Each structure stands twice: as structure tokens, then as C-alpha cells.
Amino acid sequence: MTSLVTARNVSKHFGDVRAVDDVSFEIEKGKIMGLFGPNGAGKTTLLKAVLGLTDCKGQLSVLGLDPFKQRKELMRNICFIADVAVLPGWIRVTQLLDFTEATHPNFSRTRAEEFLSHTKVRRDARVRELSKGMIVQLHLSIIMAIDAKLLVLDEPTLGLDPIFRKEFYSNLLNDYFDGERTILITTHQVEEIENILTNIMFINDGQLLLDTTMESLPEQFTELMTSGENAEKARRFNPVYERDVFGKKVMTFEGVDREQLEALGEAHTPSVVDLFVAKVKGAAA
């Protein structure tokens, strides 16, 4: 495996606020990494550091480069879609394609036109005349036509209806991801992308709470639904988090043999959302 992103003791403080606090991780080539955290957890600051938009303490390497000092070279192999409308409203679709073709050495105009042919985006339309869904389709068509090694998505489907969101991720997998490229996604709509992820990271208060692979979750974590005397017995295994559901106790365990828990109730692997809640609230408790 080859690490596209390597962080060692990375920190970024704004006065007394520790936006990113001594974080270390690696993102391997050909992975789809989900980065999740509450609002204000440090996700955006971490993404800005990866994209070279802010400096930081510690060691951070992206595609073998220092993202802050070698950003121009880095941007040739990174694509980024943010949660805000970054395309100028006055520009026409054809002008945007012309501009991208003239400025990005790895952009394929033919490929972009092919992607757009499957949408309702008119080539003579101005960006401000397009719906938000169409703007995302336009943006994604351009991104997928760039031969980049790393794609960073920050709430890419925010404000889109479920159909557009499903189509977005379907297009991303079918037309962009090829097992060689690497994708880093942050979103609050965790349930919609859980099935496409290979890896997950949880961040809260600037610190990493979890960095693992999706395939290892069944070995690491167990969610148990139980009640009464069995609930008391289960607590002896020190659950990470506990909540009430319809009069029963639902507990999340880390590093506990599942066979021991199965004798006390219904045991299964938690969803990414439930695991995220357990880790964040468990850490706070």
C-alpha cells in the first residue's frame, strides 16, 4: 500500500481554540475515507490543511508534497468539491469548460462533455440559471474529467433531494472511482455513504476518536440490546455508550468478545452512525 496522505502530530490552534489537536493518520491509495465529526469538531480545518489552504504544526504530506509550501504542484493532482457554490453565477457552461481546459493540464474536455450529455445542463446556460442539483452535476462532470489522484468532498450533496444525492454517489463510483484514485468525504448524511466507504475517521474537539477500516468493525465493535438483569451483567464489560430504546438498553462495546455478549441479548455490529454517536458521547461522558 502507498500512503497518499500522511499526518504526524498535526495541530492547528486559533488562540485558545484547538481546531486540530495532535492528530496522526494515513490515507492509503485506492481508499474511500469518510471523515465524520460534529459541527466545530475540526473537520474543515483538517481539510484546509490537506488542501494547503492553511499551515499547521507537525508533519503533513499529501502526494509526497508539503501542501502549504508546494500547493501549486499539489493542485494538479487534487480535485475538491465544497458545500458552497463556488462557481461564478455569471459564467456560461461553455465558458467554464473553456476556462478549465485552458488552465488545468489534466482536464479532458471530451470526457466532461460526455458526462454532461447525461444531464439536463444546457451548454449556453449561465450558472445562476441552473438549479442547485444541476450545478452539482456540472461541478461533478468537470471533476470527473480531471485525471486526479485525490478527490476531496466536503458536504458535496448538501441541500440536494434524495434522488440527486443517490445519483451523485452512483456516478462517483461508476464513472470516477477505479480502485486507483482516493476519495476523502466529509458529510453529515452518513447513512447514505456508509456502503461505499472502505475506511472511517471520527474527529471531535480537534482529536481523532477513531481511525479504522470498515471491514474491521465487526471485530472491534458490538452493539447489544438487552434489559433487566442481563443489562446489569453487560455493564461489567464497560460499554463505550449506553442508551434507552423502547424500554430496553442498547450498549456499544469496543474490544469485547461478541460471544460473551450474545448470551445477554441481541448482538450485532453497529451502524457507522450509531458507532459515531457512541464514540462522541462516550468520550464526552
Chain segment 92-108, per-residue pLDDT in tens? 999 999 999 998 889 99
Kindly tell me the number of DSSP H helices and DSSP E strands found in the chain.
11, 13
Cross-sheet strand order for the sheet of 248-254 = 241-245, 248-254, 221-226, 266-268
Q: What is the pLDDT of residue 83?
A: 63
Instruction: For residues 169 and 225, state if they share a domain.
Output: no
Domain that holds residue 264: 216-284
Among residues 148, 173, 205, which one ends one of the domains?
205
CB 28 within 8 A of CB 182: yes
Instruction: For residues 59 and 194, state if they share a domain.
Output: yes
Instruction: For residues 15 and 151, state if they share a domain.
Output: yes
Instruction: For residues 176 and 280, state if they share a domain.
Output: no
Cell numbers linked to 270: 453497529
Instruction: For residues 228 and 110, state if they share a domain.
Output: no
pTM: 0.90
Instruction: For residues 71 and 186, state if they share a domain.
Output: yes
48/32 Cα distance (integer angstroms): 18
Instruction: For residues 118 and 191, state if they share a domain.
Output: yes
Q: Is residue 211 included in any domain, yes or no? A: no
Which residues of the chain carry a pLDDT beneath 70? 1, 83-85, 285
Q: Is residue 210 included in any domain, yes or no? A: no
Quote the number of domains for the chain.
Answer: 2
State percent of the chain over pLDDT 70: 98
Instruction: For residues 20 and 109, state if they share a domain.
Output: yes
